[in-house]
Amino acid sequence: MWQWIRIAMAGLVLFAISVVVLNGSWHAPAPADPQRRLLSHRGVHQTFDRTNIANDTCTAERIFPPTHDLMENTLPSIKAAFDAGADVVEIDIAATTDGQMAVFHDWSLGCRTDGKGPIRDHSMEELRALDLGYGYTVDRGSTFPLRGKGIGLMPTLSEVFAAFPQGRFLINYKSHDAYEGILLAALIEANPDVRRALWSAYGGTEPTERANELIPDLRGFTSTGTRYCLIGYVLLGWSGHIPVECRNTHVMVPINYTWAMWGWPDLFHQRMAAAGSDIILIGPVEAGETGTSGIDTPELLKTIPDTFDGYIWTNRIELIGPLVTSEVL
């Protein structure tokens, strides 16, 4: 009996070694001209301490000492991101009571502005009158370095597209309201020229899936779909199987889990490209953490393989952009 157990164990070891060897990155040729494209999360914005952040944490109350006056999701912020080298800028939208799409990060107004209540309960005229810098503080409310500097800065999505006709944008739905997907599709139908600016959409499942149905080739994605994609690939990717959730989409991969992606980086890239998907490399993901961290330091940037061909998600485009540009040059 023990002899058969030893044979079985040896067979399992050989199988495991074969799986690892057959899924080595070297089984795919390195991209001839790998492109590190930059995805700027929120544009150039005020960064903050991410320690123990929950879904209801007001991040404006924990910003680092400002080195600039820019606020996320505003036209100056977006312009600064493109100027720093962003290929795509991520922005957040919410429907207003008058059927427009306001560009603003939070679900409600009380954290960052001098307004109150959910953003979707207000008209665009009301939102435009708010001070977007009202709530930012470094010292728990003793001083407010941006107060008074954000009055009238909240744009609509139409205004963003008009201001940056050559830009590309990732739209983030904060709600689970399919109506917002319909609004986005209606905007594209009324203004076909801005379709090229809409790189993709993600966030709430209902609006994202509705937008995917109504806007050809959108390839929007959700956190649930991303999770199933990565779990399915970890479980079965060694066989070459690509889960349906990984097909014709954008696949977000945390940098601290790339070791679990069979064939990382070159074979993984080849498989995703064959499935019609781009790779978005994001920052480390830790248990219990909310939000999306980015590639935000030079040290983390240096850990990305030279042959990586995909999008780098960053919260610090003003820092990371020039570093990537200098590498390319």
Q: What is the DSSP letter of 222?
A: -
* pLDDT for 13 beyond 70: no
Closest CA to 203 of 128, 92, 312: 92
Q: Where are the alpha helices (DSSP H) in 84-129?
A: 124-128
pLDDT tens for residues 52-84? Answer: 888 889 999 999 999 999 999 999 999 999 999
Q: What pLDDT was estimated at residue 126?
A: 98
Helix then strand count (H, E) for the chain reads: 10, 8
- Taken as a whole, the chain contains a residue count of 329
Average pLDDT, integer, range 14-37:
78
Q: What pLDDT was estimated at residue 31?
A: 84
Spatial separation of the C-alpha atoms in residues 22 and 149, rounded to whole Å: 57
Average pLDDT, integer, range 25-36:
87
For tokens 């290929």, name the residue. 87
Lowest pLDDT segment from 5-9, 219-223, 250-254:
5-9
Q: What pLDDT was estimated at residue 158?
A: 97
* pLDDT for 14 beyond 60: no
pLDDT tens for residues 165-204? Answer: 999 999 999 999 999 999 999 999 999 999 999 999 999 9
* pLDDT for 123 beyond 80: yes
88: helix, coil or strand?
Answer: strand
Q: What pLDDT was estimated at residue 19?
A: 61
Lowest pLDDT segment from 29-33, 95-99, 210-214, 298-302:
29-33
DSSP assignment string, 149-176? S-BT-PPBHHHHHHH-TT--EEEEE-S-
Q: Record the tokens describing residue 114, joined without a space.
A: 């001098």
With a pLDDT cut of 90, the percent of the chain lying above it is 82
Average pLDDT, integer, range 133-148:
96
Mean residue pLDDT across the chain: 92
Spatial separation of the C-alpha atoms in residues 54 and 111, rounded to whole Å: 14
* pLDDT for 6 beyond 70: no
Q: Record the tokens describing residue 88, joined without a space.
A: 């795509």
pLDDT tens for residues 286-311? Answer: 866 666 899 999 999 999 999 999 99
Q: What is the DSSP letter of 37?
A: E
* pLDDT for 134 beyond 90: yes
With cut-offs at 50, 70 and 90, classify the pLDDT of residue 11.
Answer: low
